[in-house]
């Protein structure tokens, strides 16, 4: 049975790193980042709402296709929208996949510090710069972190402590819950 693994959490917490480890260990698994899909759309930076909505729909179609092919999908994404989380859950149920929703967390101050430290990583600097602009436009990091915690209040997400500087331990914690 294929798995639909949602790796939610605040920006910069290690979702993409854990997803990458998972797909490296699970042939044909797909790591599907909405931000990457959105970046494939022309003019996405000037059409925030429209590009975000279209990217979500494209991601749902990709999730469906990949699960129906019998392969796991990992969605490493900051999602503070319970309706989208419900759509992912419903899609997993609809196609007969196992759906697991995780949230990677650290305390708010540490998570924000980790997010801003990524600007010094040459591999992530451009992505980080764009993400920082969007987060500021959306009210700042603390506001986004609070949105996430409110969204998760009544959800059955499995909380995983994201260990700063030890992505292997965070990855093992996720695997232990599968």
pTM attached to this predicted model: 0.91
Contact 90, 99 (CB under 8 A): no
pLDDT in single tens digits along all 178 residues of the chain: 999 999 999 998 999 999 999 999 999 999 999 988 988 999 988 888 898 899 999 999 999 999 999 999 999 999 999 999 999 999 999 999 999 999 999 999 888 888 878 767 666 666 667 777 777 777 888 888 999 999 999 899 999 999 888 999 999 999 999 9
Taking the C-alpha atoms of residue 38 and residue 53, their distance in angstroms, rounded to an integer, is 9
- How would you label 132-161 residue by residue, b for 16+ Cβ within 10 Å and e otherwise? beebeeeeebeebbebbeebbeeeebbebe
Distance CA(166)–CA(162), nearest Å, equals 8
Distance separating alpha carbons of residues 62 and 177, to the nearest angstrom? 25
Measured CA to CA, the distance from residue 116 to residue 21 in angstroms comes to 23
**Yes or no: domain 3-169 corresponds to CATH 3.40.30.10:** no
For residues 62 and 13, what is the distance between their CA atoms, to the nearest angstrom? 24
Instruction: Tell me how far apart the alpha carbons of residues 19 and 29 are, in angstroms, rounded to a whole number.
Output: 10
8 A C-beta contact, residue 95 and residue 64: yes
Buried-state track 60-81, b at ≥16 Cβ within 10 A, e below 16 = beebbebbeeebbbbbbbbbbe
Residue 70 CB contacts under 8 Å (≥ 6 apart), including other chains: 2
């Amino acid at each position: 049975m294929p798995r639909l693994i949602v790796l939610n959490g605040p920006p910069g917490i290690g979702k993409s790193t854990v997803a990458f480890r998972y797909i490296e260990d699970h042939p044909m698994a797909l790591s599907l980042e909405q931000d990457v899909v959105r970046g494939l759309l022309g003019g996405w930076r000037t059409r925030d709402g429209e590009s975000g909505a279209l990217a979500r729909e494209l991601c749902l179609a990709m999730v469906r296709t990949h699960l129906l092919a019998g392969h796991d999908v990992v969605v490493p994404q900051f999602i503070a929208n319970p309706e989208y989380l419900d759509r992912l859950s419903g899609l997993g149920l609809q196609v007969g996949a196992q759906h697991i929703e995780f949230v990677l967390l650290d305390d708010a101050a540490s998570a924000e510090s980790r997010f801003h430290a990524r600007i010094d990583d040459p591999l992530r600097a451009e992505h980080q710069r764009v993400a920082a602009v969007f987060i500021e436009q959306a009210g700042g990091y603390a506001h986004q972190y609070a949105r996430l915690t409110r969204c998760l209040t009544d959800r059955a997400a499995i909380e995983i402590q994201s260990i700063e500087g030890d992505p292997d331990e965070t990855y093992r914690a996720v695997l232990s819950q599968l």
